[in-house]
Each structure stands twice: as C-alpha cells, then as structure tokens.
Amino acid sequence: IASKGRPLAWDLPAEPDGSRIGESLLVTYCKRRTSTSFKKDAYRFFSDDIWPELKRSHPALCGNRMKEEVKRRWTALNAAARSAYKAKEMVEERSYLRSILEADPSSLLVRYEYELLAKHAHHAHR
C-alpha cells in the first residue's frame, strides 16, 4: 500500500502573480499528451510542446533557470505517466487523460496522484 509521499511534479511554488506553475504543467502535459505519442523523444516533447505552451500561459516564466526547474519536474511527471500507461492503448490513455481534465480543477492533482499510485500498486501485485 503506497503511503502519501511528496507530489511528483506539480509542487512548484506559486509565482508572484499567484499562478500555480506545477498545476499548469500538469494540465498542459495532459492536453499536449492527448495529441502526442509516447514514442516522441522526451526532450523534444518538452522543448516543442510543453515549454512553448507554458510560456504562453505564464509569460513570467522566461529564463533558463526556471526552464531547467520546470524541465526537471516535467521529467518526473513524464516518467511516472509513461510507466503508468505503458501497457495501455492510446485510445484508453486519451479517455483517461480527458477524464482528468474534466474533473473539478481543485481535485485535479489529488485525483491524478491517486490514480497513478493505484495503477502502480495494481501492476506491482500482478
């Protein structure tokens, strides 16, 4: 049984304007991932899809230091999601991600983490 640990990739502190970068990162990830294959190279996916999208929604994010920090946390998110979805077809993955995005935003992160843990526990006990 998984104990409650630190969040995977969405615990970036709020920016001065109050925006939650970690949460934006997760939502951006889900949105972009529904239209991008998991086979796409992780670094290219970050630089082509994730970072430009985040910069559009958070102009204050500019700068290499912040980019490196976001990339570090994105890498953790990508790795966790990749292993959770490894055995799934893209169609199933898309509907799963869509259900996350349609959830109440306040419960988005909790629900995502819970589902990830549940999936990992399920695979571990097979």
Residue where the block lists tokens 């970072």 = 51
Tokens standing for residue 56:
């559009």
Give the global pTM.
0.44
In the chain, where the domains are located: 21-124
Q: What is the pLDDT along the chain (126 residues), one digit of tens a residue?
A: 333 444 333 444 555 555 566 666 666 766 666 555 555 666 777 788 778 877 777 666 667 777 777 777 677 666 666 665 554 544 455 555 555 555 544 444 545 555 555 555 555 444
d(C-alpha 81, C-alpha 12), whole Å? 18
Q: How far apart are CA 24 and CA 29, in angstroms?
A: 8
The 3-state DSSP class for residue 20 equals: strand
Report whether 50 contacts 74 (CB < 8 A).
yes
